Amino acid sequence: MNGSSGEPVSEARASFVDLVVNPRAFFEALDPKPVNLLFPGLIVLVTGVIGAVTAYQMSAVLMDAMALPGIEGLGGVVGAVGAIGALITTLLAWVIYTAVFFVVSMAFRGSGEFNRLLSYVGYGHVPQVIGGIVSTVLTWNFVSNLRIPTLTDPEAVQEWSATLTQDPTMQAATIISLLFMLWSANIWIFGVRQARNLSTRDAAITVLVPVLIYLLASVVPMLVT
Amino acid sequence: MIRRFLLVALALLACAACVSASLPTGLPYPVTTVTLPAPGDETPPATGVPVATSAGNRLQVVSTTLDPPVLARGDVGTLTVEVANAGLSPLRPSRATLLSSGPVTVEDDPYPTVGEIGAGNRMAFTFTVKAGGPDGVAFPVFSLPVPGEHGLRVPVPVRVDSTAPAVSYVERPDVFSPGLAETVVLAIGNPRQTAIDGVMVTPRGTGFSATPSSSFIGGLPANARATAPFNLTIEQNATVAFELVWFNGHNRHVSTVDLPFVLGTSLREPDLILSNFEVERQPGGVFLLTGDITNAGLTPARSVVIAPGGASTPADPFPQYVVGSLEPDDFASFEVNFLAENQSSVPLVISYRDANGNPFESESRVALSQDQQKDTGSDSNNLPVIALALVLAAVIGYLIYRSWKR
């Protein structure tokens, strides 16, 4: 395994506090242990559930308020579909992130099993749990104070929905989500470094390139509109 | 001998019948027609008096017909008296006359010659009569003297009724607004005992326009009713004379009903009131104005549209708001977006139509406070969110920094 440049951490100290304040030591302490996907999976699941709650409240409230012909009273159904979609998307994103990091790290001759990398990327979702809670509160506050017009034209609904993304509250919620994404990326750097036996520089490139592409893809549309 | 006498008598009867059938039929002789009804046949005549008989008299009045059946004052009608010879030998009346009675005068001269009415034949006599006043039933006497025989003298009833069709207003506004079309509906009833024809209503006068210019109803049976709707647009105080033309037979009658129209403000028209304003300034200086609109009038308002007016500039997504129809005592919410830099108030223009499609417009001003002149939406309301984002950024930045320092 890669040598640590910071203070050594024992296995007993591989706590979530270390994951937050000293992820390098956390993964070094975790490295000798066999791969365990239970806790990472739970973390990702919690992230997905929080995202599902946010998606439900947005979808259900908005759909109930809109008077589009043929979908009256379907707010709950649409909300449930949105929630399930958000949960599945989060779980898939976990695997996709890991696969992307795994493939990119191969360019740096990285070695290490996929499941271990999957486990470490799952641990890296801890900041997004916190970020998800903050986003849920902000979104709920936004939706509660939203004055929803009575719209019967699908085009008008589309135009009005586009204006929501321009609201400062929603823009702040997006920026906050990106901040937590950056925090996760920071943890992923140390996780990839440990799981794929890479140098810190190579691990940073492996993680930051796809993450920055993702962040740019999220921020640019917001700035354009 | 007796057999010979019978043969001679039958031959004489046959000759008499032949002579009777060969009589000329042109004027001035009345036309002979069909045979008499069979004995015991009590079928009543087509119109008029029943068959008139008198002891020893062989002439009978089979029917009398008056066209039109009931005359109005001044009307001219045609009275036809049909006479039959019920005897077994021809008769030769000297003349046929109809004597005036009461309000009914006879316009024609008597028939100077009549000719022979064969046994079992009919003959019709036609006279022109004119109705005067007063209304009632007159009995001009038809006289058909036969020299040496019992003649015929029969009073023929003729009814005179000058009752005109009744005109009433089914629908009319309480007042008229200048230049606005209002609906006026007339009901025309026929209280007469007989049908009238060619009924037509035409508004006459100045200072107004009417659509349609006239309403043709046509025939109107006895005790029947028809309606004639008009859309009237009044420009000034005016009295509209509705001219009613109708025909009794070929007699034309004209009666007029005057309807005064007064300009003013209707007490029943829609009265739209705006209230419950909330003004919010959004990013980019766009104002979002929400509120309620209530119809405090007594009639529905159609096609209600609210738009910012004056110096303000309508903006997306709601440069104007279509409320649609608004029933009395009903209300609806609305919202409009507009740009109004450095303005203390903005007018809201409400346009709507009444049931006749007349456009109306009213205006209501909404004050914009000084606070709303600022971008409160992006600065004040979102200040906690921005602060939260900054704090989180600082905390996350510190944690990332710390993770790299160890």
A155 touches chain B (CB under 8 A): no
Tell whether B299 is covered by a domain. Answer: yes
When pLDDT is averaged across residues A192-197 and rounded to a whole number, the result is 91
pLDDT over 50 (residue A156): yes
Residues B129 and B218 in one domain: no
Q: Is A185's pLDDT higher than 90?
A: yes
Same domain (yes/no): B156, B176: no
- B183: domain CATH number? 2.60.40.10
List C-alpha distances in Å: A87 to A48, A218, A222, B69: 4, 19, 24, 94
**Dihedral angle, C-alpha A211, A213, A218, A219, nearest 10 °:** 110
pLDDT of residue B315: 80
With CA atoms as reference, report the closest residue to A210 among A193, A225, A189. A189
Residues B199 and B156 in one domain: no
Please check whether residue B11 lies inside any domain of the structure.
no
Do B38 and B135 reside in the same domain of the chain?
Answer: yes
Select the residue from B276, B277, B280, B392 to test the A interface by mutation, using most A Cβ atoms within 10 A.
Answer: B392
Report residue B85 as tokens: 């010879």
- Among B283, B388, B396, beta carbon nearest to A166: B283
- Report whether B70 contacts B159 (CB < 8 A): yes
* A101 in reach of chain B (CB within 8 A): no
For B313, half-sphere exposure in the C-beta direction (CA atoms, 13 angstrom radius) is 8
Determine the pLDDT at residue B378.
42
Q: Mean pLDDT by 10-residue block, N- to C-terminus, for chain B (406 residues)?
A: 44 38 34 36 38 59 92 93 88 90 88 87 93 90 86 90 90 78 90 93 87 91 92 81 92 88 76 84 76 87 88 81 87 84 83 83 79 46 77 89 80
Task: Answer yes or no: do B389 and A176 touch at CB < 8 A.
Answer: yes
Interface test with A, best of B286, B396, B401 (most A CBs within 10 A): B396
State which of B261, B296, B328 marks the end of a domain: B261
Look up tokens 């009995």; give the residue.
B139
Same domain, yes or no: B174 and B154: no
Q: Is this complex scored with an ipTM above 0.90?
A: no
Candidate from A6, A25, A172 with C-beta closest to B389: A172
- Nearest CB to B392: which of A156, A160, A179? A179
B-chain residues near A207 (CB < 8 A): none
- Residue A70 burial (10 A CB sphere; 0-12, 13-18, 19+): exposed
Report yes or no: B231 and B211 within 8 Å, Cβ to Cβ: yes
Q: A61-65, A176-180, B5-9, B327-331: which has the minimum mean pLDDT?
A: B5-9
Which of A152, A158, A186, A192 has the highest number of chain B CBs within 10 A, making it the mutation to test binding with B?
Answer: A186
B401 contact A CB<8A: no
Query: Which ranges constitute the DSSP H helices of B74-180?
Result: none
Test A168 with B333 for CB contact under 8 angstroms: no
Does residue B280 share a domain with residue B295?
yes
Final residue in a domain of this structure, among B261, B296, B322: B261
Q: What does the alpha-carbon distance between residue A28 and residue A15 come to, in Å, rounded to a whole number?
A: 12
Judged on CB neighbours under 10 Å (0-12, 13-18, 19+), B276 is exposed
Q: What is the pLDDT of residue B288?
A: 84
Same domain, B223 and B154: no
A171 in helix, strand or coil? helix
Of A21, A150, A176, the CB nearest to B402: A21
pLDDT greater than 90 at residue A112: no
Contacts of B396 in chain A (CB under 8 A): 127, 179-180, 182-183
Q: Report yes or no on whether pTM surpasses 0.80.
A: no
B334 to chain A, any CB pair closer than 8 A? The answer is no
Residues of A in contact with B385 (CB under 8 A): 138, 168-169, 172-173
Q: Domain containing B203: what range?
A: 166-261
- Nearest-Cα distance to chain B for A98, in Å, is 21
Q: Are residues B239 and B283 in the same domain?
A: no
Residue B385 has its nearest CB partner, among A138, A160, A179, at: A138
Within a domain: residue B12? no
Candidates B395, B403, B404, B405: best to mutate against A (most CBs of A within 10 A) is B403
Would you state the pLDDT for residue A140?
80
Q: Does B285 touch chain A (CB under 8 A)?
A: no
Kindly list the domain boundaries of chain A, sorted by start residue: 33-224
Model confidence at A42, pLDDT cuts 50, 70, 90, reads very high
Euclidean distance between the first and final Cα of chain B, in Å? 173
Instruction: Inform me whether the C-beta atom of residue B385 falls under 8 Å from chain A C-beta atoms.
Output: yes
Q: Which of A167, A124, A82 is nearest to B280 (CA)?
A: A167
For A195-215, write each residue's pLDDT tens digit.
999 999 999 999 999 999 988
B225: CB partners within 8 A, 6+ apart: B187, B188, B189, B190
Q: Which residue in the set B382, B402, B406 is minimally distant from A169, CB to CB?
A: B382
At which of B160, B177, B201 does a domain end?
B160
pLDDT tens digits, B259-282: 877 777 777 788 888 888 888 876
Question: Residue A159's pLDDT band (boundaries 50, 70, 90)?
Answer: low
Residue A126: its pLDDT value, please? 92
Give chain A positions within 8 Å (CB) of B289: none
B67/B102 same-domain check: yes
Secondary structure (3-state) at A72: coil
Q: Given pLDDT bands bounded at 50, 70 and 90, which one contains residue A103?
A: very high
Within a domain: B136: yes
Would you say residue B46 lies in a domain?
Answer: yes
Specify the pLDDT at position B51.
47
Q: Does B322 touch chain A (CB under 8 A)?
A: no
Task: Give the nearest chain B residue to A175 (CA atoms).
Answer: B389
Q: Which residue of A has its CA nearest to B282?
A: A167
Cα–Cα distance for residue pair A224/A222, rounded to 1 Å: 6
At B159 the pLDDT is 93
d(CA A4, CA A200): 10
Q: What is the total count of domains within chain B?
A: 3
Say what the pLDDT of residue A65 is. Answer: 57
Lowest mean pLDDT among A95-109, A110-124, B256-270: B256-270
Cis peptide before B68 (omega within 30 of 0): yes
Alpha-carbon dihedral sign for residues B367, B372, B377, B383: negative
Q: Does B392 sit within 8 Å of A168, measured CB to CB? A: no
Neighbouring CB atoms inside 10 A of B376's CB total 16
